[in-house]
Structure 1
Amino acid sequence: MSFPQIQVIVKPRKPLNKNDCLVQISEPLFTSLQLGRKLPLNIKVGHKSLQLTAQLADLDLNTLHIPENILKKFCLPVQSYKFQAIYRSETLTLELGPVIGLLTDFPSNRQDEPHFRSIHAFCEELHQGISETGGFFYVFAYNEFLNNGFYLSNGKWCPFEHPLPDVIYNRIHSRKLEQSKPFKLFRNRLETLSIPLFNERFLSKWEVYNQIFQEKHLFPYLPKTKTYTIEHLHELALECETVFIKPAHGSQGRNIIKLKKEDDGRYTLQSSIASLNDNFYGRYSLEEIHHLIKPILHNRLFIIQQGVELNKYESCSMDFRVLCHKNRNNHWQVTSVVARVAAKDEFVSNIARGGKMLRPLNVLRTSLGHKKAIEVLAHMKELALETASIISISSTGITGELGIDIGVDQEGKLWIIEVNSKPSKNFEDGLGKIRPSAKALIQFCTMLAFDTMIIKED
């Protein structure tokens, strides 16, 4: 069942007394929301609902005035808001939202303003976008849930006791933290409270490979991949000129080893691990390589992946990051594509390791020509959307955002390199504007918030 959703302006007013529960509503808002003339009105913000009394007032279009004491009961700072709103006539409930909480981990110091590490500027961007479209946004750490969060006011992140959100966007930086017992208890608490959390965990490279591998029509786009064992090392290294050894739970190009077969049948080693590059150079047998890297493995799951001779840009390694997001209709869309060009003497293109971003079509033209470049870019977007759909269906929980890394070989063939559930926010140049990826996230959160409300109460 669908309900009309409109933007409303909420303004605080001084309460007449400590029990003031009178909400003043403009005539146009009554009409737009089809409120009828019934005076009792439930107002719901986040997961809290209060029974109030509605009164028509001579106010601006789509405006309502709420006493400051009521805003405080909703755990909202006393300020003006723009919200999305729907009205459910059968329960006399006006729902205002979405209330969106971003979950992350950051240094905690009550005396200083918080810094949200690599996503700090992105949090400011989300605040701006949500304030413009309607809603309330705050940032919190899981161990401070409902005790202390931070909202942006006049350019400063201010602490407050935050409300229960409609939806939570997970941007935890640490895989280890996500696997900890306290965090799992927090997740259980969210399930009890029926609060949706999307992109709830990092993805494993081995898990992603197997999910895509099940789709036979995508098999040609996958480099051959196996879990690391000495037997699999021999098997793939003898079959392929180049292989990569990667941690299944790694990110940002860390702890990756590249082996290249030389003419004498031995192998050279290149790594994003500085100690390996500094201490081991020359040519090695596979047994020697296994011995060299065994201390690095630490009994963790690593994969071995076929190395593909991808197109380069100015002699530097290159791949493409395709950002995909679900929109308000719960459909996947491509929100941006960038070419990632590795720094000189680096074999990984990650921006965290000095890579740079370029426009994809300009880069593809240099090696494929104009017509072929347009075809390849269109195919790349289709492949990314298909991959995102498969991963979201196959993975547990709610997935609303994925970064798909795709390589292009010298013939223009596409290869799925990696899928990231928490892609970097440094790939688009927003120039002070709300980027398409942020807009898509806001749409998805709004859809989750209001759909959850409807499902919960039916």
Structure 2
Amino acid sequence: MFFPITPITIKPRKQKNKNDCFVQMSNQLFTNLLVNHNLDLNIKLGHKTIKTKVKTIEMDPNMMLIPENILKDFCLPIQEYKFQAIYHPDLLTLELGPVIGLLTDFPSNMEEEPHFRSIHAFCEELHHGITEIGGFFYVFSYDQFLNRGYYLINGKWSPFEHPLPDVIYNRIHSRKLEHSEPFKHFRNKLEALLIPLFNERFLSKWEVYNQIFHEKHLFPFLPKTKIYTKEHLYELTQEFETVFIKPVHGSQGRNIMKLKKEEDSQFSLQTSIAALNDRSRNNYLLDEVHQLIKQILHNRFYIIQQGIELVTYESCAMDFRVLCHKNLNNHWQVTSIVARVAAEDEFVSNIARGGRILKPLNVLRTCFDQKKSVEVFALMKKLALETASTISGSSTGITGELGIDIGVDQEGQLWIIEVNSKPSKNFEDGLGKIRPSAKALIQFCTLLAFESTIVKEDH
């Protein structure tokens, strides 16, 4: 990153009167930051700037005391904070940040503490990580933007009027909501305010397939995939022993069908569609399968995909989830890899359907020798990073996080199964500590927050 960041601890102090605008700064911090030793100082936090005067005193390095009334003007609860800071000498401005808003949808009742559904524990982890590294974090719903956010204070998510964020991380749970008119209106508001939103939408399976398909070096890792039609059903079942039929817009292993060729031109059907659970059997003709699938489609797009004989663990289906994040230098990095092993009677490995997670190298060693296991593991990282770079380069908006599902066949060949822009937060080990993926997200938010300020200044 091309701009220097200084960690600063902020402590509130009682103001002497309502016009008290003096901030007290350690001598060391003053010397390090204010190269022209000017005693006038603008402090910027979020999208608000407040004029202050500086007094230097003897205290811990990198510490500032700020009057409580100024913290209130910034819409901050009165308490101690750690921020990351950049000084802009030409503007006499000390920018504190990042102010990070996490956008999600959750039931809201002013009488009760909110619950952020599947990412509730992750929101707490992000709060603790940002508090530790430096910054301010809150959670909000798009329809309450500018009015109410929730900040974790004394172990409880409490509502408050929040500062405008420097950057917003999108964890909306619903594809439908992202396409709604009120959400589009909210997006327009962000654009007018010049607030970057990253991972702005769910990705579709067909979109991802086409983006990767056009990269020659990644093409060999793609299962053959087509939009579902009767003709494509006949074509792919003739070509492959097994095919998968999946919704273009789908996640968590829902609404997937697995079709396998049996004897006498008949097919067995397994499905994760609840309405078809009693229809799983081994003796369908292809026309019967198509009639059954037509009932489910309801004019929605599905894909049909080549089935691959992947390695298993204890006879259970298995793939690998690789989490990739952009870091402070705007480069993709692998932050986590886990093996996902399907529940005993399931053919999909999603945790939401009872799957479990195991250490990837340990699992690979049950399939290959030590040397081959290490080679496959290293290639998995490389493939995930190449895929992340391709998807982020081809997609609209800002992408900072991707979950990439990779399968390994009997020969050790890797296959890109799926790419998810809203990966589950329940995969990694280490609950109770700040995981590498959370730290990487904080780094990326810091980059977006301060970089956007630099860009605005340049213009």
TM range (shorter): over 0.9
Aligned residue identity for 2:312: K
Residue of structure 1 equivalent to 2:284: 284
Partner of 1:369: 369
Residue 154 of structure 2 aligns with which residue? 154
Percent identity of the aligned residues?
74
Structure 1 position 164, deviation (Å): 0.5
Report the more deviating stretch, 26-35 or 372-381: 26-35
Mapping of residues 420-435 of structure 1, within 5 Å: 420-435=420-435
8 Å Cα contact 1:48/1:74 also seen in 2: yes
Task: After superposition, give the CA deviation of every residue in 1:380-418 in whole Å (9 maximum; x if it has no partner).
Answer: 100000000000000000000000000000000000000
Match of 1:46? 46
Give the structure 2 partner of residue 389 of structure 1.
Answer: 389
Structure 1 residues 183-198: aligned runs within 5 Å: 183-198=183-198
Gap regions ≥5 residues in structure 1: none
Residue of structure 1 equivalent to 2:99: 99
Query: Counterparts of 1:351-362 in structure 2 under 5 Å?
Result: 351-362=351-362
CA distance in 1, matches of 2:211, 2:349: 24
**What code does the residue aligned with 1:211 have?**
Q
Report if aligned partners of 2:266, 2:282 keep a CA contact under 8 Å in 1: no
> What CA deviation, in whole Å up to 9, does each residue of 1:188-243 have, x standing for no partner?
11011010000000000000000000001111100000001111111111111100
* Equivalent-residue separation in structure 1 for 2:295 and 2:69 (angstroms): 61
Q: Is the Cα contact below 8 Å between 1:101 and 1:137 reproduced in 2?
A: yes
Letter in 2 for 1:54: V
Compute the displacement of 1:435 (Å).
Answer: 0.5
- Other-structure match for 1:89: 89
- Segment of structure 1 superposing worse, 92-101 or 58-67: 58-67
Deviation at 1:60, TM superposition (A): 2.1
Give, in angstroms, the shift of residue 57 of structure 1. Answer: 2.3
Deviates more, 1:46-55 or 1:446-455: 46-55
Q: CA RMSD in A?
A: 1.1
Contact 2:200 2:397 (8 Å CA) reproduced? yes
| Cα distance in 2 between the residues matched to 1:111 and 1:393 | 44
Match of 2:407 in 1: 407
Cα distance, 1:130 vs structure 2: 0.6
Separation of aligned partners in 2, 1:19 and 1:148? 28
Which residue identity is paired with 1:261?
A: K
Report the Cα distance in structure 2 between the residues aligned to 1:184 and 1:296, rounded to whole angstroms: 29
Alpha-carbon distance between aligned partners in 2 of 1:453 and 1:20, rounded to the nearest angstrom: 28
- Partner in structure 2 of residue 132 of structure 1: 132
Q: 1:282 to 1:375 in 2, by over 3 A?
A: closer
> Residue 94 of structure 1: SS of its match in structure 2?
strand
Quick check: 1:257 aligned with 2:257?
yes
After TM superposition, list the pairs within 5 Å mapping 1:141-290 onto structure 2. Answer: 141-290=141-290
Residues 3, 219 of structure 1: CA spacing in aligned structure 2 closer, same or farther, 3 A cutoff? closer
Question: Which whole-Å CA distance do the structure 1 matches of 2:285 and 2:378 have between them?
Answer: 42
Paired with 1:353 and 1:4, the residues of 2 have a C-alpha distance of 46
What displacement does 1:289 show?
1.0
8 Å CA contact 1:30–1:36 kept in 2: the answer is no
Cα deviation, 1:129-166, whole Å, max 9, x if unaligned, reads 11111100100000000111011111111110011101
Q: Secondary structure at the residue paired with 2:290?
A: helix
Mapped to 2, the partners of 1:279 and 1:307 lie a distance apart of 20
Q: 2:245 is aligned with what amino acid?
A: I
Q: CA deviation at 1:258?
A: 0.6
CA distances 1:433-452 after superposition (whole Å, capped 9, x unpaired): 11010111111111111111
Q: Which residue of 2 aligns with 1:115?
A: 115
CA distance in 2, matches of 1:431, 1:300: 38
Residue pair 1:247, 1:300 contacting (<8 A) in 2 also: yes
Contact 1:3 1:88 in 2 (8 A): no
Counterpart position of 2:322: 322
State the match for 1:71 in structure 2: 71
Residue pair 2:24, 2:57 contacting (<8 A) in 1 also: yes
CA deviation vs aligned residue, 1:165-195 (integer Å, no higher than 9, x gap): 0100011111111111100110111011010
Asked whether 1:58 is paired with 2:58, we answer yes
User: Which string of whole-angstrom CA distances, capped at 9 and with x for unpartnered residues, describes residues 324-346 of structure 1?
Assistant: 00010000000111000000010
Partner residue, 1:453: 453
Farther off after superposition, 22-31 or 409-418:
22-31
CA distance in 1, matches of 2:182, 2:86: 36
SS at the partner of 1:112? Answer: coil
Distance 1:280 1:127 in 2: 45
One-letter amino acid of the counterpart of residue 121, structure 2 = A
- Tell me by how many angstroms 1:280 deviates: 4.7
SS at match of 2:218: helix
Contact residue 29 and residue 61 of structure 2 kept, 8 A: yes
Shift of 1:298: 1.2
Amino acid at match of 1:52: T
Q: Which amino acid aligns with 1:64?
A: M
Normalising by the residue count of structure 2, what TM-score does the alignment of the two structures yield? 0.98
What is the number of residues matched between the two proteins? 458
Q: Which amino acid aligns with 2:292?
A: L
Q: Which residue of 2 is the match for residue 332 of structure 1?
A: 332
C-alpha displacement of 1:38 = 1.2
For 1:23, the equivalent position in structure 2 comes to 23
How many angstroms apart in 2 are the aligned matches of 1:3 and 1:410? 48
**Secondary structure, in 3 states, of the residue corresponding to 1:217?**
coil
Counterpart residue identity of residue 381, structure 1: K
Q: Structure 2: any 5+ residue segments left out of the alignment?
A: none
For residue 34 of structure 1, report the CA deviation from its aligned partner.
Answer: 3.2
Contact kept? 1:3, 1:87, Cα under 8 Å: no
Conservation of the 8 A alpha-carbon contact between 1:39 and 1:53: yes
> In 1, distance between residues paired with 2:96 and 2:135?
8
Determine helix, strand or coil for the equivalent of 1:366: coil
Please report how far the alpha carbon of residue 35 of structure 1 lies from its aligned counterpart in structure 2 after TM superposition: 4.2
User: Match for 2:303: what amino acid?
Assistant: I
